[in-house]
Amino acid sequence: MEKKIIVANWKANKTREEAKAWVDVFSAAAFPSKPIQVVICPPVVHLFEVYRQLKTASFPFPVTVGVQNLSPYPGGTYTGEVTASMVRGVATHVILGHSERRQWFSETPQQVALAVDQALEHQITPIVSVDRTNWRLQLAQFDDQTIRQILLMYEPPEAISEQIGPIGRGQTADLTDIEDMIGLLSKAYGNTRVLYGGSVKSANVKPFLESALVSGVVVGTASMEVHEFIRLISQV
């Protein structure tokens, strides 16, 4: 059975101390072995510290770190950018084209495609977020071979937890909608791996992960409180 991927997206939350306290509790939790991989995506400023801290703990399944964005550029005179080469060997995954970035930072499909190329060049698996209205446009830059190397994330913007920002309305998608969307993506691109994101929590995660079509989940709000995230993992 393919491992289900559980991604924690902390978004722009947590001080250095809060990040450390979260990892302390997470590392001390007694997890049984499960067919999962957990990817923790802290704000990039905490990436290396979280990585080092996790390295000293042991888990019965892979726990890696990822980033929430990467530069479309390889490096150079791009003030403020974090490039794939800077996090190579540490970040296993990168979330790209999140609806919050498309909306608040005006990211275009072209920029997302360039960042995907950068990530792949540095052996970082891109998780590319799409929605039902715009997925054709959002994925138009990719050929079939690239699509097969990336993880897609289906996240209806209205499904994002409302307490985080003005995009979300906390309307979790139902499994029929998610499976239907995965069907559309598979029809267009063949065998794709698709994660679901949008108000996933310990109370509703089970059916998503039990679906043979869903490769995993991206968890925002429910990953920020460590006990809730531990509870969520326990549902698998």
In the complex with ligand PGA, which residue's Cβ is closer, 74 or 165?
165
Window of 104-112, 113-121, 192-200, 228-236 that interacts with ligand PGA by CB under 6 A: 192-200
In the complex with ligand PGA, which residue's Cβ is closer, 11 or 122?
11
Site for ligand PGA in 197-236 (CB under 6 A): 197-200, 218-222
Q: Decide if residue 53 touches ligand PGA (CB under 6 A).
A: no
Window of 72-80, 144-152, 158-166, 174-182 that interacts with ligand PGA by CB under 6 A: 158-166
Cβ-contact 54, 39 below 8 angstroms = no
The span from the CA of 116 to the CA of 122, in Å, is 10
In angstroms, what is the minimal distance from the CB of 98 to ligand PGA? 6
In angstroms, what is the minimal distance from the CB of 209 to ligand PGA? 14
In the complex with ligand PGA, which residue's Cβ is closer, 28 or 203?
203
In the complex with ligand PGA, which residue's Cβ is closer, 146 or 204?
204
In angstroms, what is the minimal distance from the CB of 64 to ligand PGA? 17
Q: Residue 207 carries which side chain, given as an amino acid letter? A: P
Looking at the DSSP bridge assignments, the partners of residue 130 are 154
Which helix (H) or strand (E) segment holds residue 87: the answer is: helix 84-87
The span from the CA of 35 to the CA of 235, in Å, is 12
Rg (CA), the chain: 17
The span from the CA of 229 to the CA of 232, in Å, is 5
The span from the CA of 65 to the CA of 94, in Å, is 9
In angstroms, what is the minimal distance from the CB of 153 to ligand PGA? 8
Residues with Cβ within 8 Å of residue 61, at least 6 apart in sequence? 3, 31, 33, 34, 35, 36, 37, 38
In the complex with ligand PGA, which residue's Cβ is closer, 152 or 222?
222
CB-based burial of residue 146 (10 Å sphere; 0-12 exposed, 13-18 middle, 19+ buried)?
Answer: middle
In the complex with ligand PGA, which residue's Cβ is closer, 36 or 200?
200
Residue nearest to ligand PGA (CB): 220
- Which of 117, 142, 126, 167 lies closest to 7 in space, CA to CA? 126
- Which of 41, 56, 120, 129 lies closest to 88 in space, CA to CA? 120
In angstroms, what is the minimal distance from the CB of 167 to ligand PGA? 8
Site for ligand PGA in 100-119 (CB under 6 A): none
In angstroms, what is the minimal distance from the CB of 187 to ligand PGA? 25
Exactly one of 44, 160, 194, 226 binds ligand PGA (CB under 6 A); that residue is 160
- Residues binding ligand PGA (CB under 6 A): 9, 155, 160-161, 164, 168, 197-200, 218-222
